[in-house]
């Protein structure tokens, strides 16, 4: 039950991270992260305890090694999959933004002219102001695409973790009288 609550709580705590934006402050991100990790002990402590149920004391080192190996392997695979997902989502969002950042788009032209005007008011010549405006537009597209990629990844992680909630109920339960792990 604890593991299932931990999965559901973690999935639920990922939801606020699906609405992040470029203006989010560090304090808000830190609070969201604290909220997210509050449920982690409900997952990892019971799973670590269940690793040793029914295992003779002399096999504890092997179980510990296998458990750490599985945790490290799973973490590496998860990190690799997340990195690929983020990169691909970033490309998708960049393509979508690029469709609206051409000189044929009147809103983009208006924004670009506004940026150019700001740079010219700071003393830059027209050519340099245009280059700086285009560079800032590109940086903005990159930042927005990156932010949307993270929002997508938090959605996917929340869904996957929520789907793990029933998994603890199919795990093998210790039989009555079966040797429980020692706490020393």
What's the confidence (pLDDT) of residue 58? Answer: 87
128/119 Cα distance (integer angstroms): 8
- What CA–CA distance (Å, rounded) separates 19 from 98? 22
Give the pLDDT confidence score for residue 36 in this predicted structure: 87
Say if residues 106 and 97 touch (Cβ distance below 8 Å).
Answer: no
Give residue 51's pLDDT.
81
* Cα(53)–Cα(100) distance, integer angstroms: 58
Pair 47, 171: CB distance under 8 Å: no
What pLDDT is stored for residue 52 in this prediction?
80
What residue has token string 């079966």? 178
Q: Averaged in consecutive runs of 10 residues, what is the pLDDT profile of the chain (184 residues)?
A: 92 88 89 90 87 82 90 93 94 90 87 93 93 93 93 92 90 63 51
Torsion angle of the four alpha carbons 164, 169, 172, 173, in this order, in degrees rounded to the nearest 10: 140
Per-residue CA distances from 6 to 39, 99, 114 (Å):
5, 42, 49
The confidence score (pLDDT) of residue 177 equals: 61
pLDDT score for 44:
87
Q: How far is residue 4's CA from residue 93's CA, in Å, rounded to a whole number?
A: 34
Q: Are 11 and 165 in contact (CB under 8 A)?
A: yes
Q: Give the pLDDT score at 48.
A: 84
Which SS3 state, helix, strand or coil, does residue 60 take?
A: helix
pLDDT value, residue 178: 57
């Amino acid at each position: 039950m604890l593991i299932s609550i931990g999965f559901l709580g973690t999935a639920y705590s990922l939801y606020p991270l699906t609405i992040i934006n470029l203006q989010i402050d560090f304090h808000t991100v830190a609070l969201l992260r604290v909220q997210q990790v509050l449920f982690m002990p409900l997952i990892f402590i019971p799973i670590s305890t269940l690793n040793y149920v029914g295992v003779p004391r002399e096999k504890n080192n092997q179980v510990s090694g296998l458990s750490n190996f599985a945790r490290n392997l799973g973490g590496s695979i998860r990190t690799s999959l997340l990195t690929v997902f983020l990169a691909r989502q970033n490309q998708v969002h960049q393509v979508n933004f690029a469709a609206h950042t051409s000189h044929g788009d009147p809103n983009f032209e208006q924004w670009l002219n506004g940026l150019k005007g700001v740079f010219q008011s700071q003393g830059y010549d027209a050519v340099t102001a245009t280059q700086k405006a285009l560079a800032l537009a590109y940086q903005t597209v990159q930042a927005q695409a990156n932010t949307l990629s993270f929002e997508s990844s938090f959605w996917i992680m929340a869904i996957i973790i929520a789907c793990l909630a029933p998994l603890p109920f199919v795990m093998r339960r210790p039989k009555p009288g079966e040797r429980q792990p020692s706490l020393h």
